[in-house]
């Protein structure tokens, strides 16, 4: 799957009360050349999530992951006056229970000065529309427990927390040690 087909979401879908005040605004799939804007959003997200030094990703990493011969991840961007002001980075999941794909939303972020204008909601709606169009059964993501503005947004669209599930992560030395093949 080399490209993601989704129609541009024009500014008109942003609620009139939240519409960007000037210029043109739209949501579109990321294209080569967007890497710097996407990376800037990733770095700003890391600052927002109190992990400013955690980002190791480079523009070259994004090029390979998003636009290489076999993309492993996909992205949509919110654009205002030709500047990327928000991102939704995602990848496909698969449910053995439904036998269908889903979308895992890895990062949803809108730069601070553009929050409250409907970009985050438009990015989410675009992914939901893509899931419905392709017959995917779910869109899932995680959110930090202290991020109440995002939690409120997610609840407002009908998303439900999966309180019975706990996320585990294997990284660093633990991953290297466990992943070492014993002979």
Q: Which residues are catalytic?
A: 154
E strands in 5-138? 9-10, 25-29, 74-80, 83-95, 100-110
- The three-point CA angle 49-141-98 to 5° equals 165
**What is the C-alpha separation between 86 and 123, in angstroms, rounded?**
8
Asked if 27 and 126 count as a contact pair (C-beta separation under 8 A), the reply is yes
**Helix intervals (H) in the chain:** 35-48, 59-67, 119-134, 148-156, 172-179
Q: In a 3-state reduction of DSSP, which class is residue 76?
A: strand
CA angle, corner 153, sides to 149 and 154, nearest 5? 120
């Amino acid at each position: 799957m080399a490209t993601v087909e989704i129609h541009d979401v024009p500014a008109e879908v942003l609620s009139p009360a939240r519409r960007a005040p000037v210029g043109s605004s739209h949501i579109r799939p990321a294209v080569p050349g967007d890497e710097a804007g996407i990376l800037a959003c990733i770095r700003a997200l890391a600052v927002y999530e109190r992990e400013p030094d955690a980002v190791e990703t480079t523009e070259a990493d994004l090029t390979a992951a998003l636009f290489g011969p076999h993309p492993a991840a996909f992205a949509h961007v919110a654009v205002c006056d030709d500047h990327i002001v928000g991102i939704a980075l995602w990848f496909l999941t698969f449910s053995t229970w439904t036998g269908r794909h889903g979308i895992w939303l890895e990062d949803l972020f809108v730069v601070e000065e553009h929050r409250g204008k409907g970009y985050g909601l438009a990015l989410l709606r675009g992914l939901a529309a893509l899931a419905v169009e392709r017959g995917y059964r779910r869109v899932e993501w995680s959110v930090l427990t202290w991020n109440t503005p995002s939690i409120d947004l997610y609840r407002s669209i009908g998303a439900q927390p999966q309180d019975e599930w706990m996320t585990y992560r294997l990284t660093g030395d633990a991953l290297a040690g466990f992943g070492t093949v014993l002979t």
